[in-house]
Amino acid sequence: MRVGVLQTQVPFVRGGAERHSANLCEALRRHGHEVAEITLPFKWYPTSTLVDSIMAARLTDLSEVEGVPTDLMIGLRFPAYLARHPNKVYWIIHQYRQAYDQWEAGVSELLDDPEGDVIRHLVRAEDRKAFADTTHPIYANSKTVAQRLQTHLGQKATPLYHPPPNAELLTPGPFEDYLFAPGRLNPSKRPDLLLRALAGTASPLRLVIAGVAENPSYLESLKTMAQELGVSDRVEWLGGVDDEAMRAGYANARAVVFVPQDEDYGYITLEAMLSGKPVITTTDAGGPLEFITNGKQGLVSEAYPPALAESFEILMQDKVVAERMGATGYEHYHALNISWDHVVETLAGQSHPKDSLRPAMASDVAETNKSVSKVGDPQADAIAKRRSEIVPAQTTRMELPAGLDCDVVERMWGALCLADYEAQTGLVRIKVTNHSLSWWPKTDGCAVCVVAEWIGPDGVLRDTNVFVPLTDALGPGASQTLGFRLDPETETRPTRGALRLDLFQTEVGRFTDDGRANSVTLPCSEEAFIKLVRQGSGSHA
Amino acid sequence: MPDNHPRIHWVSPLPPAETDIAHYTRRILPELAERAEVTLWTDATTWDRDLEQFCPVRSMGPEKILPKQMRSFDGSGDRAGDRPGTVFINMGNSWVFHAGLLTLASRMPSVVILHDLAIQEMCLDAIHNSLLGRQTYLDTMYRWYGEAGRRAAQNALQGRIPATDLSQTYPGFEIAMDNAVAVLTHTAAASEAVSARGYVPTYQLDLPFRASDTARHARPMTGPLRFVQFGHIGPNRRLEQVLEALAEMGPDFDFTFDIVGKVWNPELIRARCQELGISEKVHLHGYVSEPDLDALIGQAHLVFNLRHPTMGEASGSQLRIWNAAAASVVSDQGWYHHLPKDTVFHIPIGGEIAALQQLFVRLQEDRSFGWSLGLAGRQRLIEHHTPAHYANGIVEVANAFENDARDALLANSARRLLSEGPDTPRLSGLMLNRLAQLF
């Protein structure tokens, strides 16, 4: 299917919602869908601009592109999800909370605007209409969000959980002597509460805080508070950390503390559970309470420092309890069927991943194919440079078929699928499918070709070659099969390394660079690879 | 989704303010408070504490109040269930009671209840009393009435034309609905005038009045004929014409004329009575209590409820007259024109004095002349003007507010878009047509 993912964009801001949308897109693609992430910019102040944003979304027609219908639209956030499409399914990660629970909590900006109450009416009217117009059930990313829909609009919504962005990186580890507090540093996450609780503990308990403050002066105020509370020496401020540091922070902690106020979902809770760590949270935290029961997967206390301090002490003083709760949390996570496959099947219907070799989840959509070259390896650096030019490998060179040079700018979409592979004989059949709207051209146009690369046993890219230019034109939706033979593994010639096949378009680049196709990887020795490329073009079917 | 018990913020002058709009609010309050979660708002600092038996009453500064001050919560600070509310703002033509409310209406989108279509007097007085910005007013007049309207307004501000003359051509109700979500009127004429603007939805309800259990009357069958006129009496109430008509009946025409309420120029009226030689028969009472007023109406053989010019406003006074089952005479125009002929005497605008005198003659011959009109009027009051019926209508308007608010805000957004868009009417028209199709 052609699927659009409707997301609101606040320019220059990138956070959990953006990663969530990217991961959903990636998951849909792995299931063979053609996906476009459609973002609409959103500015909500002054109120007249908020109204204009709603108007803009309502005026946006996404039913088709260049005459080709978009089959399904998945709406994630207000007001982007108001855009027009005849087949929309909502998976709500954000309503406009200022019109709902934040108003009741007394923190909405609308309270200070003379038009604030009538804006609430507008937002509710738009949400009601949007939800009434769909034939699909309404989904929410958590019970907390679903409950808000029920409370404020009387709208039934089904919670549909998804994994946190770095789920596959997280692993359980030892239980060391610190409490880990990751996440953005802003008042809604209540790091000040953590500091006050820490000050109420008797034992030399350490708090490791990983995260960036949205406002630098807020971080300074927190550090000043720590000093005034006399806990500066017990707080470690990590700031922004990379994925490995975050993983380690979770893996080695005694427990994870997460005390937001009425959080929608809370990746941190799930990340803690995946790391096998108990979670310390509060009774008003919202999302975390969907997964943490007091005394089972962690501790839940009232949201005031002495109660929280007591939770800190319990887990720091009793490692066995922490281990037990962490294990319970780990098992609980896995029992909940929190997977992208489940999400995709729920939103887009039953489908199966097209390729059993799944690429890593996108933690940043711009970061793809960067892990192959190791820093400091001169040969790898040279290869990487040549790779970007698609110059054939050192040992072999194949001339590009005539007509490959062109000035095409239309970006093609496609898919590679391993149709057949006989390890004994080395026979390989690769099915190539055109998912574009246009024909993949012949040799007198801008041809699409298959690029073959050999990756060494150490994971470093060693060879690149244009392997099989597709000399036959391939129409939209059409497929053709490439066949070739790799020398099979023998006792004297063990297979080490891998052959990777990508689709490539002249003047545009590698399809996998921006998600326009997947790649296929097969075990292959360097010798077999060289033999393969010397054979020239394989057979086409 | 209709809310069976909507939240309503009711902004109005409140008793003991000397305006019928205050009495009207009091009239509907019991039934309205049964059907909705009501909070009364006033820009006065005092009010009749009796109102608080029905709902909270709060004072506000119309130029600065914000939604956070209007949120509902109980004493314990529990803010659960703070649903969006609907603000109703009652608008009339007296600057004393409505200048502040006009400021609120310009800040806070609401349902504006237009008790009067012609509000130029209120606007001009508000400007003179520094409660409305002169330039803001002129800009608004230009926006709604063009350059001609702006010039006329300027002439009125400079005293070259009276406000009543200005109102004839440019009634000014649009000024009150500039930021409105919807408008509620009490007459077909007002509803049509507002609808003709095509700006916001218009609702119409019959003005409410709480009928007494019975019509207490004691109209004497002997002695002088008793006449009454009451309310906020300006030149358009045709008092001078009534006095002239009475005087011309001659010295043998025995009558008593009780004038109750605020007369625009009591000295002028007293002087005129002196000139006409009827001073001893005409009594200016000023404001009296409602029971005393009802008693006077109950004794009247005829009540004068004339209006010319009129801008189509309904008359709470007429409902009070009907409650007493009293005979009344009205000008045959505006809202009064549509009153059933079996409930009032209609007299033409031209030839008022002659028409009035014909009535006087008939009454002199037969004091029961007009009783059937009074009874029919009371019947109409009971069937069409109950507070319960009115309160049901208010709840319906409140339930429609969510969708009306959406339409109003999106329409404003579209207007902003068009005002910043292509200069040519054709291109703007293309966008306008497309917006009309979509919304």
Tokens of A471: 């000399």
Helix %, strand %, coil % for chain A, to 5? 35, 25, 40
Residue numbers in A near B438 (CB within 8 A): 58-59
CA angle in degrees (0–180, nearest 5) for A220-A226-A227: 90
pLDDT at residue A296 is higher than 70? yes
Residue numbers in A near B85 (CB within 8 A): 117
pLDDT for the residue numbered B400: 95
Lowest-pLDDT choice from A386-400, B166-180, B230-244, B301-315: A386-400
Most B CBs within 10 Å: which of A61, A101, A121, A156, as the mutation test of the B interface? A121
Residue numbers in A near B67 (CB within 8 A): 110-114, 116-117
How far is A133 from chain B, CA to nearest CA, in Å? 14
pLDDT for the residue numbered A105: 83
How far is B76 from chain A, CA to nearest CA, in Å? 14
Computed over every residue of chain A, the mean pLDDT equals 83
Q: Is A521 exposed, middle or buried (0-12, 13-18, 19+ CB in 10 A)?
A: middle
**Amino acid in position B216:** R
pLDDT at residue B74 is higher than 50? no
Tokens of B282: 């005409």
Could you tell me what percent of chain B has a pLDDT over 70? Answer: 92
Rounded distance between C-alpha atoms, residue A362 and residue A526, angstroms: 30
pLDDT for the residue numbered A308: 96
Per-residue pLDDT averaged across B185-204, rounded? 91
How far is A47 from chain B, CA to nearest CA, in Å? 10
Per-residue pLDDT averaged across A68-84, rounded? 94
A357 pLDDT band (50/70/90 cuts)? very low
> Considering CB atoms only, which of A55, A114, A125 is closest to B66?
A114
Rounded distance between C-alpha atoms, residue A76 and residue A21, angstroms: 8
pTM of the full structure: 0.69
CB atoms within 10 A of CB A188: 11
CA dihedral B298→B303→B307→B311, nearest 10 degrees, is 30
The answer to whether residues A255 and A322 touch, using CB atoms and an 8 Å cutoff, is yes
Chain B residue nearest residue A59, CA to CA: B438
How far is B60 from chain A, CA to nearest CA, in Å? 13
A536 pLDDT band (50/70/90 cuts)? low
In tens, the pLDDT along B98-134 reads 999 999 999 999 999 999 999 999 999 999 999 999 9
Rounded distance between C-alpha atoms, residue A405 and residue B128, angstroms: 80
Contact map slice: B 186-205 vs A, CB within 8 A: none
**Do A120 and B84 make contact, defined as CB atoms within 8 angstroms?**
yes
Chain A: which residues have CB within 8 Å of chain B? Answer: 48, 51-52, 54-55, 58-59, 103-106, 110-122, 124-126, 128, 153-154
pLDDT at residue A265 is higher than 50? yes
Computed over every residue of chain B, the mean pLDDT equals 90
Could you tell me what percent of chain B has a pLDDT over 90? Answer: 72
The answer to whether residues B173 and B104 touch, using CB atoms and an 8 Å cutoff, is no
pLDDT at residue A116 is higher than 50? yes
Contact map slice: B 150-189 vs A, CB within 8 A: 181
pLDDT for the residue numbered A419: 86
pLDDT for the residue numbered B286: 93
Most A CBs within 10 Å: which of B107, B409, B410, as the mutation test of the A interface? B409
Contact map slice: B 353-412 vs A, CB within 8 A: 401-403, 405-406, 408-410, 412
What are the φ and ψ backbone dihedral angles of A232, each rounded to 5 degrees?
A: -55, -40
Per-residue pLDDT averaged across A326-353, rounded? 87
Buried b / exposed e along B261-278 (16+ C-beta atoms within 10 A): bebeeeeebeebbeebeb
In tens, the pLDDT along B203-245 reads 999 999 989 888 877 788 889 999 999 988 988 899 999 999 9
A427 pLDDT band (50/70/90 cuts)? confident
C-alpha A250: how far from chain center: 19
Lowest-pLDDT choice from A73-77, A353-357, B161-165, B231-235: A353-357
Per-residue pLDDT averaged across A142-166, rounded? 92
> Considering CB atoms only, which of A55, A111, A126 is closest to B413?
A55
What are the φ and ψ backbone dihedral angles of B276, each rounded to 5 degrees?
A: -80, -10
Most A CBs within 10 Å: which of B104, B402, B433, B437, as the mutation test of the A interface? B402
Residue numbers in A near B110 (CB within 8 A): 118
B415 pLDDT band (50/70/90 cuts)? confident
pLDDT at residue A356 is higher than 80? no
Q: Is B41 on the interface with A (CB under 8 A)?
A: no
In tens, the pLDDT along B244-260 reads 999 999 999 999 999 99
Bond preceding residue B208 cis, omega within 30 of 0: no
pLDDT for the residue numbered A188: 85
pLDDT for the residue numbered B193: 92
pLDDT for the residue numbered B218: 79
pLDDT for the residue numbered A400: 39
Residue carrying the six token digits 């509710």: A124
Contact map slice: B 64-123 vs A, CB within 8 A: 65-68, 70-71, 79-80, 82, 84-85, 87, 107-110
**Do B84 and A117 make contact, defined as CB atoms within 8 angstroms?**
yes
pLDDT at residue B345 is higher than 90? yes
pLDDT at residue A205 is higher than 80? yes
